[in-house]
Chain A
Amino acid sequence: MTQTLSRRLLLKWTGANAGIAVAGAMLPNFGISAALAADLGEGDIGVLNYAYALEQLEAAFYTQVIETPFEGITDEETDWLTDIRDHEVEHRDFLKEALGEGAIPDLEVDFSAVDFTSRDSVLATAQTFEDLGVAAYNGAGKLIENGDYLLAAGKIVSVEARHAAAIRDLVNMNSVAFAGDDVVDENGLDVAKEPAEVLAAADPFITTEVTAEALV
């Protein structure tokens, strides 16, 4: 099933990106597909686009959270969530700049499942996105060939993990939730997920125009 979903997402972006020029080379299937394909050479750009997609999603989410604060939000919560928004925007912009013309387009998002007036709904979604981001970077590290890109991803992922822990502690104050047994296994290892699984989880929140299906 995840295969199908990923393929759908892949097709969405492939459709939007067909024939884009990257560093002087034409990459007809450029986009997230590179992260899933065994296409050597474009691999790192594909992984960066994968990260860029997730950061776009997070940045859009927290931008909305700050624009329409949930009922009863405290000053401290506003402070922390504003920091997180700023970080995600920085991550997004950093990746966009690193990708240059190779970047996928701006994604349209769908947060209709989120009740932005509800603290519970907002924090639960934030926790989902942060944990997903950590798992995505943890699983994607091995797909990166260039050490500089690997380091860049490393500089981002630990900040995502800090977000995840902080959000989890806002939800369950002073509990073990910050690094709960649901995300850290008996070896003390955090979750790592493959792109297909991550994209399937992110897919409901991404509604970028699907034009590729007409091309298939």
Chain B
Amino acid sequence: MTMKSILSTVDPEITERLVANRREFFRSSALKLGAMASAPLVLAMASQQAFGQELPQEIVDVLTFALTLEHIEDAFYRSGLEADGLIPDEYVGIFNQIGKHEAAHVAFLSTALGSAAIDRPALDLTAGGKYADALENFDTYLTLSQTFEDLGVAAYKGQAGNLISNDDILQAALQIHSVEARHAAIVRKIGGKKSWDGAFDEPMTKEEVLAAATPFLA
């Protein structure tokens, strides 16, 4: 049964009310936590409420993998934006925008996963000292930013096939995927590089992505 068919059986007015409540909930918890508010779609809510633990394990695995990467990105931009003098004034708006999206991705995926959602893992943004000045040197910060964004693009791309059984989740993943690509493009441009490597972006396997991301997990 697809999510659409479930949603089509729901009274639109009830759906609207649920979304409104959920928004309110997020707004108030965001205030408490000082986090950025993000109103999840009906989709995310439906996956939690209608499916609960019924999401196939394969999809839970993909979403958990994606959420792990989003947690790293979210923390990376929060830390960068908090670090005094790290990001030049002319780029603060851009990094705020990127950070806003990563926070929204964390909220969206967490809502989609419901009780299965993982908390932010403990992170080491210096990767064991390899990038010791990650939050002091803008060049290093840019390098890491590009790494995370290009990695995110390759990671979502590599997982798309595993979501083919669920149209709504596949589409949402694709919608995140292209936002990561927009991020990668601007970060590369700021770094004086082309926004692309060629006409086709290659995917990475989960193993490849985790090998690249693991050094940033404490």
Query: Which residues of chain A have a CB within 8 Å of any CB of chain B?
Result: 80, 83, 86-87, 90-91, 94, 134, 137-139, 141-142, 144-145, 147, 150-151, 154-166, 169, 174-176, 178-180, 184, 186-192
- Contacting B171 at CB < 8 Å: which of A134, A142, A179, A188? A142
With a CB–CB cut-off of 8 A, which chain B residues contact A192?
A: 171, 174-175
Chain A residue nearest to B188 (CB atoms) is A162
Task: Determine whether B39 belongs to the interface, using a CB cutoff of 8 Å to chain A.
Answer: yes
**28 A/B residue pairs, CB under 8 Å, sorted by A:** A87-B196, A91-B199, A138-B171, A138-B178, A139-B171, A150-B160, A154-B174, A155-B202, A156-B200, A158-B201, A159-B196, A164-B182, A169-B186, A176-B96, A176-B97, A178-B94, A178-B183, A178-B185, A179-B179, A184-B182, A187-B40, A188-B38, A188-B100, A188-B101, A188-B179, A190-B179, A191-B175, A192-B171
With a CB–CB cut-off of 8 A, which chain A residues contact B108?
A: 187-189
Chain A residue nearest to B154 (CB atoms) is A158
Q: Are B194 and A190 in contact (CB under 8 A)?
A: no
Give the top 4 A-B pairs by smallest Cβ distance, nearest first.
A188-B104, A161-B181, A165-B185, A189-B175
With a CB–CB cut-off of 8 A, which chain B residues contact A150?
A: 160-161, 164
Task: Determine whether B170 belongs to the interface, using a CB cutoff of 8 Å to chain A.
Answer: yes
With a CB–CB cut-off of 8 A, which chain A residues contact B91?
A: 174
Q: Interface on chain A toward B: helix, strand, loop, or mixed SS? A: helix
Q: A161-B181, A178-B186 are in contact. Are A141 and B170 (CB under 8 A)?
A: yes
Chain B residue nearest to A143 (CB atoms) is B167
- One digit per residue, 1 when the CB lies within 8 angstroms of any chain A CB and 0 when it does not, for chain B 117-156 equals 0000000000000000000000000000000000001001
A160 to B195, CA, bound (A): 11
